[in-house]
Structure formats: C-alpha cells, structure tokens
Amino acid sequence: MGLISSKLLIINTITVTSNLWQFAISAKLFSFVRGLFCLEKIDKSKKFIFSIFKTNRFLPLVEMTGVIIFIFLINPLIPLTAKESTNIYNEAYRVEKISPVLSINLYEKVLEKEDISKKILKNTINRLFFLYIKFNRYEEIFILNSKFPPDKTRQKKTDQLVRNISLRLKIDESAFLEMVSICLRKDENSRKELLSVYNYYPSSYLLQYIFTIKFHTGDLETLAFLISEIPDINPVLKLAYTMRASKVYTTATSIEKAIKDAASISSLTDEQKSDILYFYGTYLRSNKKYRQSIRYFHMSATYAKKEEGLVAGEILEAAKTLFITGADKEACSLLKSKVQIQKESDEILNLFCKNKSGLRSVKRSIQNLAEKNDDEFYKKILKVINE
Amino acid sequence: MVNSLKVLYILTGFLFHADNLCVKTLFNERILPDGSFFCESCHSKSKLSTLPNRPGTYKITCYKCKHETLVKVEEENSSNGFFIEPEEKVEEPKVAATPKDEKELTEEEYKKYESIFLQDTQIISVGDAVSKPLIEINKFTIPKLKRQENWFDKVLSKFTLPEAAGSNPYFQFAKRYRYYLATAFFLLICLCIFIPIKNSYEEVKGEVDGLLLELNRHKPSKILDRNGVLVSEIFQKKTGSLKLSDYPPKLIKIILSVEDQNFYKHSGIDYFALMRATYKNIINMRYIQGASTITQQLARILIKDRRKSISRKFREALVAIALESKLSKDQILEAYLNQVYLGHGAFGIENGAKYYFNKTPDKLKTMEMILLSSLASAPNRYSPFKNRELSENRVRVIVNTLEGRDIISERFQNKINRFYETLQTPSSLTVFGSRYDKAPFVTEHIREFLKSLDPNINIYDIGGYTVETTLVQEIQEILSDEVAAHLNNLKEKGKIKRVKIKNSPDNTDVSDELQAAVIALDPSTGAVLFMHGGGEQFNSKNQFNRAVQMRRQTGSSIKPVLYASAIDSGTFNAASVLLDAPIMFSSPDGKGTWTPDNFGSAYEGEMNLRDALAKSKNTIAVQIGERMGLANLEKYYSAFFFPDVAEKNKRYRNDLSVTLGSLEISPLEMATVFGNFSNDGVIKRPYLISRVLNQEGKEIYKHLDKDEFQLKIPEERRVIASDTAEIMVSLMKGSANASGIRKYGYSGEIAGKTGTTNDNIDAWFVGTKPRLSMAIWIGFDDASYGMGKSGMGAELAAPLWARIGKKIKDLQVVPEEKFNFSKKATRLVVCRESGLFASDVCPDRVSELFTKEGRPSGTCRLSHDYVPRLR
C-alpha cells in the first residue's frame, strides 16, 4: 500500500503539472496576442514595438485577465477533451454503482473505441465479463473471450462456467466447448460440424445455446441451415429465428404466419406457449398495436412459470407497452411486486417507477441503448428524462 | 577569623599593659605651648593627639593641608624651643630615666609594637638623632615592657595586670573585672569554634536528605507483572532492598558485635571506642583497630569519599550525627545491611549472601553469617576467594569474640577449616553481570513514562521504585527468544530477502537488521499483556520500541476496520455482493489513474463480503469505501483510530487509499482497535503500568490517571454496535483461517487478518480472541527495503502469532473463553450469489449473520439458470 499514496501523489502531481503547463501555455498564448496587439499599434502609430511595451501599462493587465479567464473558464472544460474511451469507461463505472445492468452497454461501447488504453481495455473486459455472468449472458462471455483471449482469472472462471453449463445440458464439457468454438465461426464447414455435434448430443438446450450465440454473431444463415436440417426443431427457436430474420429478409406477414404455424402445434408445452405469445406481443408492439400487445403479454404470463412475489417478465413487457402509450401510472401499478431484472429495459422501467428523477444519472446509458436499438420504449423514456 | 583574633590580641595587649605607659616629650618651635601644632603652610592650628616621648626627628602631617613638617625632639637641655609641662610634671631625671626604661625594650619588641600600631600612625619618625630605634606615635601610647627572662615569663606577663594602671578608668575597669573578662574571652573562643562546627553540621544535615536518596539510587527499581512476579530489575550497582525484619536476628547480632557493639547506645560516634582504638593504635604504634560506628560507615557509603584526611573524617562524623537525627536506629541498620560492600561487586548482605553462598539471608548458616560479617571492614582483603588465609584468620578472631560474648554457643573453631574447604567459588568473579531485565523494551517504556510524569524520575539513576504492571511474566520472559528464533528460522529458510525498492531514498540512520514488533493486550481491560519492540537484542543502538513508537502502513490488516464500518453504517451486510474485477480511478482531467489491484492480479467476479475479507480483495475494499463515501469513512476511521480531532487532522488522509491500509498505524494501535471485536465493540485505552510506588511505598501513579501511551484516546469508547462486532468476529475467523494460522499449530479461537504492504515492505498479522488482542509486525526499519517475494503477512507474521498463541494456550496464562456479545446478530439463510433472502430456486444457500438494521432487502431474483433465454 506504500505506493498507493505515491500513486495518488502522482495523479495530483500530474494534475498540478498539467495545470502549470496550461498556465504556461495560456500565458504564452496571451503574450502572443499581446504581441499582435502591439504590432497593430506599431502599424498605427509607426512606433517601435519595444517602446509600446514600455509605455503601454494596460497590456500586462489585459494579459493577466486573459490568463485568469483561461484557467477558470476554459481549463475546466479540458477534461472533456480527454480520451473518449476513458470518459465512457468512467461513466460506465459510475453507472455500474447505480445499476450494473445499465453499465453493460457502456462498457461494450468502450470496447468499440479505438483510442482505448491497455489499462482501460483490461478493466473493461474484466468488468464486462463478470457483469455478463451476473446477468446470465453466457453466450456473450464466449464471444467476448473469442475477441479478447481470457487471462488466467477469466479462463478459470470460464472453465467453471463451462463445467456448470455442461452439467445443466448434460453433455461433455469438451463437446460444449467444441460447439462454442464452432458457433463462433461463420464458414460453411461450421454448419455441418454444428449439425454433427447436435446429432451427437440432441439437446434442445444445446440448440438453444447455438441459436443465442448465432443471434449475437448475426450468422442467420447457419441457423436457417440448422432449421432446414433438423425436422423436429423447437417451434419457439424457429419463431425466434423468424423474428430476427424478418428484420433482415422477411416481411411482417411471414412472422404472423410463423406464429400461427407455431401456435397450431398441438404438443406445445406451457413454456413454449408462453414464449410464442410473448413473441407475438413484441411483434404487435413493434407494429404499434399496443393494446393487442398488452393482451398477448398477459396471455403469455398465464402460461409462464410463476414465482411467488415476483413480477413475471411478460407482465413487465405489458407494463413497458403501457408506458409507451403514456399510461405511466398503469404501467407502474403492474410493478408492485419485485422485479427480476434481466434486461436493461426492465431496469429502466423499474427505476422510472421508483424515482423518475433518478433516471438522469443513467441517461447516457439510456441514450446509448436508444442509439443501438430502434425501440419505442427507449425513445419514450429519453423524452421523459429530457422533460 | 584571623582578623578578629588580631583585634582581640591588640585589645588584650592594651588592657594588660595600659598601666605601664610613660610619656616624655620634647618640642620644637612648631609645637605651641598648649600642645597644639601650628602649620606654617596653611597657618592653621591643630591639636596633637599624642606627644612624642623620645628624642628624634618626627614627621607631622597637617590634617588640613596635608603639609608635612619635620619636627625634632631633643633632650631637655639641647632644645631651643619652649617646653610645655605636662600636668604631672616630668623632671629631667625622669627624662633621663626614660631612656633607661626604654633600654628595657628590645629591638624586637619595638618592631612588634611598630607592627601592631602601624595602621593608625599619624606621626612618623624619619630620623633618629640619638641612634635609637624609631617608633611611630599613635593614638595609643606605646607600651613599655619589662625585659622578660624567658618565654614563660613573657606569656605570664601577658596575663598579669600591671601594678600601676594609671588613672585611666578603662584600665581600672579592666583590672576590677579581669576574671569576668577572661571568662568572657574564653566563651568567645568557644563560640568561635562552635559556630563554624554548627554551621558545618547544619549544612551537612541539609544535605542528608539528598544523601539518603543515594541509598535509593542503588536500590533496584523493580518491575512486577500482574501477579507481582519480578519481570525486571533496574540498578546501577545492585544493593539490597530487604527490610530489617527480613534479616535473621542472629545475623544482625553477629554484625553488630563485629562492627559496632554499642550501636544502639551511641549517637553516631562512639567516643569510648574512639579513645580505645586510639590508645591501642598508639600502644601498638600501628593501625590495628578502627572505631567507625555503623552509622559512620553508612555515612562513608553515602558521601563516597575514601580520602584519608581529617576533613573527610570530620565530615563523616557530622553526616553520622545528622543521620542519627534523621533516621531511627533500625532504619540506619537496615540501610547499612542493604548497602555495605562485601566485595566482588556485591552490595548489601542480600547480594553478598547470593554471591558467596547463592542463598537468601534467611537461609544462611551461622558460619556463613560470620564470614559475611568478616568482609565489611576490608572486603577485598578478607575475600575467601582472594585471600583465604587472611579470611580464615579474621573469621577465627570473630568466632573467638562471638564465643566470648555468648552470641554463638557452639564450638565453631573446629568447623572453620571444613567450612572453607566446602566453600564453592562462584562462576562469576563479580555480580555486575547479573542485571535482570527480561523485558528491556518494557523497561525503557516505563523509564520514559515515569520521566514524563516527573523529569526528575529516572529509574536508571534513582532506584527504589516499584512498578506494578499488567504484564504476563511467563510470556514476556520468553518473548524475546521466541521472536529471535522465529526471525532466524525465516532467514534460514530463505523467506526473507532484503530487496531495495526502486526509486526510494535510502535511510542510512537505521538498522539493516530484520525487525519485529509484538504487542498483546486484554481487550476487556486494555491491560498490555506483553510486548517486544525489535528483532535485534535491545542495546544502546536498538532501543526503538517498534511495538509502540513505530507507525507503518498496515496493508490489508486494516480491512476489518473498513468492513466493520460498512456493516455498522448499514451500507453493506456480510452477504452483500460486490464485483471483484479490475477497477480504475481517473483524475478529473483523465490523465492520471489509480488502479488498485488484488494480490496476484486475481479477480473472481461477484463475491460477498465474507469471502472478500477472507480473500483480502482490494478491489472490493475500495468499492466498499467508495460506496460508503469519504465522509462516512472518515467518521468511522476517526472513531476507531483518531477520536482526537487534532490527531486525526495530523494523521488521517481523506482518500480511498485508507481502505487498503495507507494510514500509518502502530502495532499497539492495531492491537487496541482489533480488541473491540472481541470486546463487544468497545475499545479500552491500553495501559501497561497499573501502579507506581516510590521508595517509601507511596503510590505516585495509577493507570487511570493518564493516557500512558499518549494515544489521545478516551479511557473507553464504543466504536461499533455489539451485533456488528459479532458479525466481524465471524468474518475475521474466516480471514484468520485463510491466513494459514492453523497449519502453524495454533488451535484456539481467533479472529484476525493478515496485511502486506506494497513490495512486501511490511508484514502484519493482527488477531483477537476473548481476553487477547495481539498485533505482529515484521519488516525493515528502512521502508525503502522490501522482504522479497515471500515477505507477506501470512508467511511471516501469522506463524509468529501462532507460535506465541500456542505458548499462551499451553501455559494457560490467558483464560480460554468463548466470544460473547451483549446484542446478538441474527442468522438468516440467503442466496450466496445475490446476498438476498434465498428463493426456492437459489442453488447456493448460505447462513449468514445480520444486524437488525442490515438485513437483506428482499428475496433473490436471479434465475440461476445456465440455459439462455431466447427472448
């Protein structure tokens, strides 16, 4: 800890030094301005420059005023010129203390920046890694690890995670890891390899992993291949694929068809029914059919597994839709019980209902989310914040 | 004195010779008939006090203008001047007779008178017309003495009043009351002798108090432990400290018989013994017997003057008399028995008995008593180990004397030979090497403290103090060796490497040796149980008590304080989950950063406070501080360490580095603060000295009086709630176990925390349990040196804690008790991942302790599912 103090001292020294430099630079700058002023005088009076330096008693005062203005008015703005990645990282860390889930997008944004320093990169990756674990975003962990090879600590934690997932999926750890590594590729061979892995371990959960990873990597072609190759594929997976693909390839009518096809299957489980109704609700909301959307979310909730004292995710979506329609009170009235935060929008609505003004402290994160997602909810909430 | 005697002599000379005066004077023209003198210079007239009575030339000085005139006094017939007749007419035959009378005065006698009256001379002879010795004329007329036949007559004449005293009334008075005057004169002489003696005595008597302090100077000051067991003795030269009643009566009898038979009868000086000794020495024409009483011997010890001079003897006698007036006989004897030098560096019978026979006085046999009593008069000469024959002879004489006086009834003469044959020579030539100080750092602390009480108290110079402490002697006496052994062990195993820290300035004034500090106290009372302040042996160059005086950064050992603050303030509970991941703080302009790092840069993601403390996660500690806020942090740290505002302002730094131990704290402060965890959240001010008694046994200090270690803290203060303390003990049990303390053999209760500062400069372990809180520090004095890769708290300090803790347990010097808290924390089942009440789906449920205010805010809402949601 001996160096802690010295490190802080260094920080202070740097600050002071930089201030001194700024002072020196500003003094130089204003000297230059004074020089110009003098030259102007020379032209007018055709007097020698040094005689003006000697005779004009106000020039030093002008110079001093300029320096003071620079230090007190301009200098505070200097931090804004610091590296953007650093600023975003600092903001992410600040938001993390308020709401960890809302900091994720900001940390992700830091990684997109090119001016990122090694130290910030390391910190961001690590924090993001653990935040992904915290919010069960396991697929993102594997993607992150593929982009930034894990260090000893992350590797250890990843191994532990792989062990737990493999146990849950009841497959071999190495097979799971193989599946992940294949998923992260986009070549044609990978499709067949994935299919062979699935054929070896025909687990719907494994397929679910493949789909979530591919959704994140944007490799919809592989998913289309798998859907075509696997006849009895989970209709929910197919629907999820269609929902994603519709944004790229298909029209809205095909989604409706996909939903109807899925819903027409007689052997659906309650969970699958809930998922289908949920997807339909989101589809209606995206098409601004809010009333219907709310209804389908409620219907979805009736099939979902209920946890006592918790607001179901489907009800939460219904509340968001109400919020979009401007029915704030009605929206918040649905959140009387505890909310299980899974998504950023869950947290934002939760924060809105708890303390509207508190949203300002996470505004940057919401802005970022609004930029990333063409979602009416974020637009509406930004509007509320700006009001 | 000389002057007064001279005046006296003149006076007596006048008295006894006044009636021998005879005046005969001749005048010249300057002397007027009325006996006055006319000055030709200023024409003034003045009266002569005395007229010249012998022919010759005289110089007369005018009183007014100081003009000097020569006057010639001639025989009656040869004078041209007028002659003034005296009242009693002096006829020529008388004048003629004068020289006859004058012839009776010898030249020496004249000179004698000349010298006597010289000072008041007004008329000075400058010539001698008749070749006679010239005299001066004074206000006193020159006496004329009869020629003395021999010295006796001369002396006698001085004491005999002259037959004719003349008509002078003073002479008449003197003659009438001459016996009274002689008596008065004698008394005056006596007074002149008595006054200086009395003055000297008063002077000496005034010094006796100071001299008596000398007795205490050599009395050892004793440092006792909590049970009154001797821990240390401090002395310059070791003298005895027993009471008279501690000496066997027989021994006293023998010593009195040998040294001072009339001890209880005389008043400091035994005049009969003095006369007897003088007589015997004169008869034998050599020194064979002394007459110094025990009081005189004590006086000699006190005045430390060994010169053979009258003035020393005189002073010794006066001191002896003064001692008798100040002390009772028993006190004098007690002091003597404790102070008398018996050779080989042994002062006092107690030390003599220990040196010669390795016994206490009450265990001495008669022959041993006799031998000891034989030594007092000449310890080196009669030493049985140096001069056995002389010693034997001396013992024989004493035995004879004692038998004669019926002090010993047995026949010892035959036993003397055997006694000397069985007498064993001690291993050491002197007793100087036997100073007993098992706790030098404690002693030094006590010296400093007493000096702060009163600058005149220096236990090294003035002894006789009894310092009652709270120490556990059984541990204190082995502590120094235990520490040394541990450090040697570390060095031998190569766990310590002195590594220079880059870009740090050298401190050349300090030792290069590896140092250690150990201090333990009883948290329930604040009583310091033992302490050791260094790695090296205590010596003149290594007196710095690192346990108390040194302040160093504490590293992670501060974390329990941080966690306690967080829990007590309600910011977190033990189950609260924080993210252990790299963390970075930027300066406002974004150009400077601070990135507190975990040991080994290892991060584990989310973890609760319990695990974070056990694993000593720096990132989590910083986050705790950050979320508590600097103001809240300052409030708690101040309560723990700096209740005094000035002290806080001086020592506290208001930034997040305090969460990782950047504050400089002493081992004593750490032990004190950690004590609160096992003492219901209450800190007691530490103290080591429970009581100090002076030489007279009077209490001069009691521990409640002062902040002994100057920590500027109140005697007692609550820093955290009782239930917070219980939670902290629970957490710290985990961190103590994680330190590996169990593998070093300690099996008792313990709640503790290791600490290591950057570059392994300092290694700490602070642990507490009921009735014990102990802090250990290991490092170099020069903080620009680290201890190498292994120099961590868990590797260096924790094993020493275990080693000492095991000794304490084995010796059962600290009672084994269970932690006890007045307000119990509540145990609840929570989800480890969220720190909230566990739901049905929570896979990892743990039981955790909570304060009433710090319970989880709700039920866990995590899905705990490893299957991703497609939504």
* Interfacial A residues in 245-264 facing B (CB < 8 Å): none
Alpha-carbon distance B600 to nearest alpha carbon in chain A (angstroms) = 10
pLDDT band of B870, cuts 50, 70, 90: confident
Distance from CA of B658 to the nearest CA of A (A): 9
Query: Nearest chain A Cα to B555, which residue?
Result: A1
Q: What are phi and psi of B416, to 5 degrees?
A: -60, -45
- Cβ of B579 within 8 Å of Cβ of A164? The answer is no
Nearest to B584 among A8, A82, A123 (CB): A123
Q: How far apart are CA B689 and CA B221, in angstroms?
A: 14
Interchain contact, B555 vs A123, CB within 8 Å: no
Six token digits for residue B849 = 């302790």
Q: Which A residues 343-382 touch B at CB under 8 Å? A: none
User: Which residues of B fall within a CB distance of 8 Å from A87?
Assistant: 590
* DSSP codes joined into one string, B95-143: HHHHHHHHHTS-HHHHHHHHHHHGGG--EEEEE-TTS-----B-SSPPP
The reply to whether residue A1 touches residue B758, judged by beta carbons under 8 angstroms, is: yes
Give pLDDT tens digits for A40-59: 444 444 444 445 444 455 55
What residue type is assigned to position B576 of the chain? S
B579–A341 CB contact, under 8 Å:
no
pLDDT computed for residue B128 by the predictor: 39
CA-based Rg of chain A, rounded to a whole angstrom? 29
Q: Does A80 touch chain B (CB under 8 A)?
A: no
* B703 CA: distance to closest CA in chain A (Å): 36
Cα(A48)–Cα(A37) distance, rounded to whole angstroms?
13
Say if the ipTM goes beyond 0.85.
no
Q: Nearest CA to B216 among B438, B462, B519, B423?
A: B462
Closest CA to B855 of B573, B663, B623, B529: B573
Contact (CB<8Å) B871/A131: no
Task: Look up residue B295 and give its two tokens.
Answer: 């009081």
Q: Does A329 touch chain B (CB under 8 A)?
A: no
Residues in B 589-618 with any Cβ partner in A closer than 8 A: 589-596, 601-606
Residue-wise pLDDT for B38-71, tens only, equals 777 777 777 666 666 666 677 777 777 777 777 6
For position B502, what pLDDT does the model report?
75
Q: What is the arithmetic mean of pLDDT over B515-537?
A: 92
Judge whether B847 and B854 are in contact, CB under 8 Å.
Answer: no
Residues in a beta bridge with B830: B837, B846
Question: Which residues of chain A does B758 touch, with a Cβ-Cβ cutoff of 8 Å?
Answer: 1-4
Mean pLDDT over B536-544 rounds to: 71
Q: What is the pLDDT of residues B695-745, one digit of tens each?
A: 888 998 888 768 999 999 999 999 999 999 999 999 999 999 999 999 998
B588 touches chain A (CB under 8 A): yes
Q: What is the pLDDT of residue B421?
A: 85
The candidate with the shortest Cα–Cα distance to B689, out of B242, B215, B232, is: B232
Q: What is the 3-state secondary structure (H, E, C) of B293-343?
A: CHHHHHHHHHHCCCCCCHHHHHHHHHHHHHHHHHCCHHHHHHHHHHHCECC
For residue B840, the chain A residues in CB contact (below 8 A) are 307
How far is Cα B47 from Cα B35, in angstroms, rounded to an integer? Answer: 6
Residue in the structure block whose two tokens are 């190759």: A229
**Cβ(B453)–Cβ(B367) under 8 Å?**
no
How far away is chain B from the Cα of A20, in angstroms, using its nearest Cα? 13
Query: For residue B206, what are its two tokens?
Result: 């005034």
Comparing alpha-carbon positions, the chain B residue that sits nearest to A138 is: B868
The mean pLDDT of chain A is 82
Tokens 């700490």 found at: B764
Query: What is the β-pairing status of strands B123-127 and B230-234?
Result: unpaired
Of A4, A209, A341, nearest to B861 by CB-CB distance is: A341
Q: Which amino acid does the sequence have at B456?
A: N
**Close Cβ partners of A383 (under 8 Å, ≥ 6 residues apart):** none
Q: Which of A1, A138, A338 sits opposite B553 (nearest CB)?
A: A1
Closest by Cβ to A97, choosing from B596, B627, B783: B627
Looking at residue B539, its pLDDT comes to 65
**Residue in chain B lying closest to A238 (CA):** B870
Backbone angles phi, psi at B173, to 5 degrees: -65, -45
* B-chain residues near A279 (CB < 8 A): 871
Cβ neighbors of B391 (< 8 A, separation 6 or more) are B371, B374, B382, B383, B384, B420
pLDDT tens per residue, range B836-862: 999 888 889 999 999 999 999 888 878
Q: pLDDT tens digit string along A228-253?
A: 999 889 899 999 998 888 877 755 55
Res B590: pLDDT: 61
d(CA B788, CA B499): 6
Question: What sections of B493-608 are H helices per DSSP?
Answer: 559-568
Contact call for B653 and A138, based on CB within 8 A? no
pLDDT average, residue stretch B364-390: 89
* Nearest chain A Cα distance for residue B463, angstroms: 44
Q: Which residue has the higher pLDDT, A358 or B99?
A: A358
Cβ-Cβ contacts under 8 Å between A and B: the total is 159
Q: How far, rounded to the nearest angstrom, does the alpha carbon of residue A226 sit from its chain's CA centroid?
A: 29
Cβ separation A18–B591 shorter than 8 A? yes
CA distance B737 to B820: 20
Is the pTM higher than 0.80? The answer reads: no
CB contact under 8 A, A11 and B587: yes
B-contacting residues of A 212-241, CB under 8 Å? 212, 236-237, 240
